[in-house]
Amino acid sequence: MMKFVALAACLLATTSVAAQAKPVAAKKPVTVKSEKPSERQLEPAEIAAMMSRIMDKFFPVGPEPDPARLALARDATITMFPRGAYAQAINNFTDSTVDRVLNLSEADFAALVPGDKQKKDKAPSTEPLRLTLAKDDPMFDAKVAAGRAFAKTMFAKVADVAEPKFREGMARALARKFDERQLGDIRAFLATPTGTAYGREMVGLWFEPDVMRGSVELIPEMMKMMPDLMKDGAAFGEQMKALDKPADKPAAEKKSD
């Protein structure tokens, strides 16, 4: 999912930059012939076949679920993963992230990077980036709005293809993990107003600031643990070296020698 978030940010930035760029004369496409047959680019069908083989090795297809349980699970996933939920979650996250960036000022950016060199003759501006960019480009807000609209359209198209696959995978996993009684309980909960609301927000919850912070805040804790982890790794390395050494002969064998 983070790949989609990064893609959205790149698309919004690209849209803004492309809109401000001066038109250039069209040039004839340059064709570069590869000198080595091994450098030939793979065709989409070849890439798909390769990915299929990788998936089969690392994520093999499980046993076929019981048809009755699978039917119950599929019904549950419609509420757990309603149509449009994925695109809505990604777009909401992208919109809020773009807004936060545009509301930052030069002073905010300077404070984000400790020790960053600042101009001594002039204090960094506290004006939001949105206003600074709009001064130089009266169409800035329109370009940002166009970028948002483009991202929403793009993610809606991606979701139309991706969501059914995610939903079916989730249904098959549920059908294997839970029996018919448990699946009935899940469906009963999801049929309630609270369950329906939970299903609608489930995907988006992973992009909430508090959830994202929980992942990022793990980094400094991991840095604190690193010295001990390195010691454990070194001890494990010594353990592996000991296993490579030939075992000592039993005492009885030594006497016979």
Can you give the pLDDT at residue 249? 59
pTM of the predicted model as reported, rounded to 2 decimal places? 0.60
Do both 227 and 134 map to the same domain? no
Q: How many distinct structural domains can be found in the chain?
A: 2
- The answer as to whether 202 is a domain residue is yes
Q: How confident is the model at residue 3 (pLDDT cuts 50, 70, 90)?
A: very low
Question: How many CB atoms are located within 10 Å of the residue 83 CB?
Answer: 13
Q: Is the pLDDT of residue 184 over 90?
A: yes
Q: Is the pLDDT of residue 256 over 70?
A: no
Can you give the pLDDT at residue 119? 56
Do both 167 and 87 map to the same domain? yes
The whole-chain average pLDDT of the chain stands at 80
Q: Which of the listed residues 206, 222, 250 is the one where a domain comes to its end? A: 206
Q: 112-161 pLDDT, tens per residue?
A: 876 655 555 678 889 999 999 999 899 999 999 999 999 999 988 998 99
* Domain ranges, residue 136: 63-112+124-206
Can you give the pLDDT at residue 211? 86
Do both 232 and 155 map to the same domain? no
Q: 6-49 pLDDT, tens per residue?
A: 444 444 444 443 344 333 344 444 444 544 555 678 888 888 88
